[in-house]
Structure 1
Amino acid sequence: MVTNLYFVRHAHSTYSPDEYNRPLSERGKIDALKVTNLLKHKNIHILISSPYKRAIQTIEGLTDWIGDEIIIEEDFRERRLSRNPVDDFEFAITKVWEDDAFSWEGGESNMVAQQRGIRAVEKILERYEGKNIVIGTHGNIMVLIMKYFDQRFDFTFWNQLDMPDIYKLSFDKHKLIEVKRIWNRDSFYK
């Protein structure tokens, strides 16, 4: 019995240092409608999201189609890069991807964030076997989860993600059997 996890990286958000309450931008709201239109015919059974507002807003349009609320899963929140804002984001994010055990002060290493994400995935695979599940989440944690199952999902891959972006991961029990990108941002703007 195949379980499909549709990982949805959130749409574009308006920057705010308040990670939990950062909302979608106007462009992000338009893209969230496109996410809804793309996924509403995929026979979705369950909606799960990071607690961050931008992740919730990106998938909340689907609640009308499946008739259920979004389940909040703390472990799908974005990885914490550092306790304090970093001066050079590109340098800081590159450094943590170069060494899976490295973390900035107050931040999470790739290993720690990945373990957290995998814990949530395993719980979902156990609880919702054979279902189609949409997971509203973030780029770093999504790719770290994907990398756990397949090493080709790395920093270069993360750097090429769209905002939003959607990847369908299909599992037989706990074994990943297929990864398919189902979002093509450019096709929505032609």
Structure 2
Amino acid sequence: MIPFVSSQRNASYIKGGDHLQTNVYLVRHAHSTYTADELGRPLSEKGIVASENVRRLFANKKIDAVLSSPYKRAIQTVECVAAGIGKEVIIKEGFKERRLSVKPMEDFQAAIAKVWEDPTFFWEGGESNVAAQKRGVQALLNVLEEYEGKSIVIGTHGNIMVLLMNFFNRNYDFLFWKSLGMPDIYELVFQGKNLINVERI
């Protein structure tokens, strides 16, 4: 576990005055069987079973809203949480996975390592770490404004999830991404837009 160290990299986003505490639960989707269809790829049987554990983990937590990437595997992982609070999953484009390339890469591990080594590098038709992080962080900041003082579950993906966390603390890096499970859940506690704690659920 990476010890949480508050970073001031997001200082320009912190506003003065008192703010309520907002709890954001980032949920990396459960296992899915690979297909080229990023949007419609569903959970595997293994993933569906694992999503039940996600439901149990949130059963005794007060959750105000459930958001998700538009990708089916992310929605399927958190829709049980939404059902538990009697609400629909709200789709947010900003939390979709980073696009690595316009076409499948022969060596995925090497391709993903490259974009982490050089944050500005991108493969043809893909997003650099800088571009994907900017997109994801903006979505998160919008959520912090809209749901201040609430507890929010967000169904998302490994790379964009770590890029969000990396914005606040550089210790969340490529090696941290490689250590993630499927699913995996991290609670980010914010005071306004200042990240004050991170904990694995």
1:140-183 Cα deviation digits (max 9, x unpaired): 0000000000110000000000000000000000000000000x
Which of 67, 75, 78 is the aligned partner of 2:97? 78
The CA distance in 2 between the partners of 1:180 and 1:39, in whole Å, is 14
The 5 A counterparts of 1:1-150 are: 1-150=20-169
Secondary structure of the corresponding residue to residue 106 of structure 2: coil
Secondary structure of the corresponding residue to residue 100 of structure 1: coil
Secondary structure of the corresponding residue to residue 170 of structure 2: coil
The CA distance in 2 between the partners of 1:15 and 1:90, in whole Å, is 15
Query: Shift in Å at residue 15 of structure 1?
Result: 1.1
The CA distance in 1 between the partners of 2:74 and 2:63, in whole Å, is 17
Ranges in structure 1 where 5+ consecutive residues have no aligned partner? 183-190
Q: Tell me the amino acid that sits aligned with residue 191 of structure 2.
A: D
Query: Shift in Å at residue 63 of structure 1?
Result: 2.1
Query: Shift in Å at residue 38 of structure 1?
Result: 0.4
| TM-score (norm: length of structure 2) | 0.90
The CA distance in 2 between the partners of 1:161 and 1:110, in whole Å, is 18
Q: Number of paired residues?
A: 182
Secondary structure of the corresponding residue to residue 6 of structure 1: strand
Secondary structure of the corresponding residue to residue 166 of structure 2: helix
Query: Shift in Å at residue 41 of structure 1?
Result: 1.3
The list of structure 1 runs, each at least 4 consecutive aligned residues, that deviate by more than 4 angstroms after superposition, is: none
| TM-score (norm: length of structure 1) | 0.95
The 5 A counterparts of 1:161-176 are: 161-176=180-195
Corresponding residue number in structure 1 for 2:16: none
Query: Shift in Å at residue 90 of structure 1?
Result: 1.0
| Structure with more helix by fraction | 1
The CA distance in 1 between the partners of 2:156 and 2:83, in whole Å, is 19
1:115-140 Cα deviation digits (max 9, x unpaired): 00000000000000010000000000
The CA distance in 1 between the partners of 2:65 and 2:83, in whole Å, is 12
The CA distance in 2 between the partners of 1:15 and 1:139, in whole Å, is 15
The CA distance in 2 between the partners of 1:4 and 1:62, in whole Å, is 15
CA RMSD of aligned residues (A): 0.5
